[in-house]
Copies of this chain bind each other. A is one copy, B any other.
Amino acid sequence: MAEKIDEKKVTPRSQDFAAWYNDIILRAELADYSPVRGCMVFRPDGFAIWEALRDELDRRLKATGARNAYFPILIPQSFLQKETEHVEGFAPELAVVTHGGGKELEEPLVVRPTSETIINHMFAQWIRSHRDLPMMLNQWCNVVRWEMRTRLFLRTSEFLWQEGHTAHATREEAEEETLKILEVYRTFVEDFLAIPLVVGRKSAAERFPGAVETYAIEGMMGDGRALQCGTSHFLGQNFAKPFETRYLDENNQLQYVWQTSWGVSTRLLGAIIMAHGDDQGLRIPPTVAATQVVVVPIWRKVDEGDKVLAAARTALEALERAGIRVRLDAREGLTPGFKFNDWEMRGVAIRIEIGPRDVAAGEAVLARRDMKGPEAKSKASLASIAENAKSLLDEIQRSLYAQAKAARDATTREPADYAALREQMAGEGGAGFAIAYWCGNPACETKIREETKASCRAIPLNQKIAPGKCIVCGESADERAYFAKAY
C-alpha cells in the first residue's frame, strides 16, 4: 500500500482544478477508471460515502410517504417514443440491447436512462380509483446515458441514483409534492453534505425532457463553477396521457393523473469533493465519512511503543463505543508525517495523535482537518476523548458548511449591466454566481450562454422584489435568476 501511495503525486487545487480533482479521487482510492468507455468503478472508500448518503436520504424520502420498488432496467424502445420531448431528449444518449439469448430481438430494448415510461406503463395497471392515489414510489438503481466526454462521478455513462415517481389526483397535489421533495433535497444536501445551495426553477431550455416544470438545487464548486445537485420535476399529464394513466374520481369519471419525478445521483460525490476539498486533498463531512476519526500512535523507542499503543487502543475503543467511525493507524515502517499527509488526503475530519508524553499526561492531541496551522490542534484528556471528538465532529460539520458558504458568497456578484456580467464570466475557469434580472425571453438566455458560457442555473421561488430591467435586453423583468458556468 505504502509504495503505491508514494508513487502518486497530487496536482495542487490552486494550480489545476480538474487535474487536482482526478488526482485526489485516484489517490484517496474513491474510484477508478474502468475498461468500459465512460463507465467508472466505485472503490470501497468512495462507495462507503454513497452508502451513508443513500441510507440517510432513503430515510428522509420514506418519511414523506414514498416507498421503494424496483422496475426493469430494460425498456422497450417504443415506450420512449410515446412522449415526444422525452425521446428527443434521450435518443442521443441511449445504449441499446439488440441481441438476447443468442438471437436478435424483435424489438430492441434500451438500457434505462430514466424510468418515467416503464413506470407509467405499470401505474396505468395499478391505478384504478382515487383511493389508489397518491401513489409514491422510489427506486435506487443504475441508469445508462451514453456520454462521450466523461468525468469521474460527475458525468459517466452509467451512474447510480434514486428516481422517485409519484401520481396524484390533482395538479395542486402534484405541484406540492414536487416542491416538498425539492425541500427534502435542499435540507439533506445542506445539513448532511454541508453544501450551501441555490434553489429554484429551471428555465425552459434547462428543463427535463417531458416535464412541465423542473426545479433544481445548485451548489457552487471550489473552482467557481456551479453543479446541479438534484432535480424535482412536475410532469403534469405529459406521461399520463400517452400511457393512459387514469383513475375513477369520486364522481366515477375517468381522469388522468398528475405526476412528478425527482432524483439525485452519485454526482453528489463529486459535489462533496469539489465543494470541500483543498490542496491537501479531500475534506469529507463527518456525517458521510467512512472514517470520521483516525488515531495515530507515535513513538520512537521500542520500550515506549507498548504504552502508546495500549493508550491508542483504549482511545479507539472509547470512540467506537460512542458510535464514532474510527480507525487506528498502527502501520509499521511509515513516519508520522507520512501518515498525517495520507489521512489528510483521505479527508478524515479528526486526527488524534498520541505520543509517550501524551500518555504520561493522560492526554492526546486532536487535529481538525477543516483548519490549518496551530489553531487546528487542541489537547483533550484521554478520559473524555470520545465526548471531545463527538462535539468536535459537529463543529467541523458546521465549519465545512460555513467555509463553503463563505467561498460561494465571496464569488457571487450582482452585475450592474451586461458588460459587468460578461466581465465576471470572462476567462477559462468558473466565476461564481451572477444574480441578474432576466425577462424570461429564451433569446436573452441564449445570448448569455453563447457569449459568456454561463447558463441559467435557477430562478428562485417566491421572489418578493420590485420589477427591474432584463440584464440583456433591458425590457421589464419580474424575476432575477442565477447564472453561472456549470458542470
Interface residues of A (CB under 8 A from B): 1-4, 32, 34-36, 39-44, 47-48, 50-51, 67-76, 79, 91-102, 108-109, 111, 118, 121-122, 125-126, 128-129, 131-132, 137, 141-142, 144, 146-148, 157-158, 160
Main secondary structure of the interface of A (DSSP, over half): mixed
Point out the residue from B36, B44, B92, B147 that lies within 8 Å of A76, measured CB to CB: B36
The chain B residue sitting closest to A35, CB to CB, is B121
Given contacts A1-B131, A1-B132, A101-B94, A144 and B69 within 8 Å (CB-CB) = no
24 A–B contacts, CB within 8 A, in A order: A2-B131, A4-B128, A32-B122, A35-B76, A35-B118, A36-B72, A36-B74, A36-B109, A41-B122, A44-B67, A48-B68, A50-B70, A73-B73, A73-B158, A74-B157, A92-B102, A94-B101, A95-B99, A96-B97, A96-B98, A97-B111, A101-B147, A102-B146, A111-B111
| Contacting residues, chain B, for A73 (C-beta < 8 A) | 39, 73, 111, 142, 144, 158
Distance A74 CA – B96 CA, assembled complex (angstroms):
12
| Contacting residues, chain B, for A141 (C-beta < 8 A) | 142
Given contacts A67-B48, A97-B97, A72 and B132 within 8 Å (CB-CB) = no
User: Is the CB–CB distance between A74 and B4 below 8 Å?
Assistant: no
| Contacting residues, chain B, for A157 (C-beta < 8 A) | 74, 100
User: Is the CB–CB distance between B69 and A43 below 8 Å?
Assistant: yes
Distance A141 CA – B70 CA, assembled complex (angstroms):
12
| Contacting residues, chain B, for A34 (C-beta < 8 A) | 71-72, 118, 122
Distance A44 CA – B40 CA, assembled complex (angstroms):
30
Question: Nearest Cβ in chain B — how far from A126, in angstroms?
Answer: 8
User: Is the CB–CB distance between A70 and B47 below 8 Å?
Assistant: yes
| Contacting residues, chain B, for A4 (C-beta < 8 A) | 128
Question: Nearest Cβ in chain B — how far from A400, in angstroms?
Answer: 25
Distance A344 CA – B147 CA, assembled complex (angstroms):
49
Distance A92 CA – B99 CA, assembled complex (angstroms):
11
| Contacting residues, chain B, for A100 (C-beta < 8 A) | 94-96, 146, 157
| Contacting residues, chain B, for A144 (C-beta < 8 A) | 73-74
Given contacts A76-B36, A131-B1, A141-B142, A69 and B92 within 8 Å (CB-CB) = no
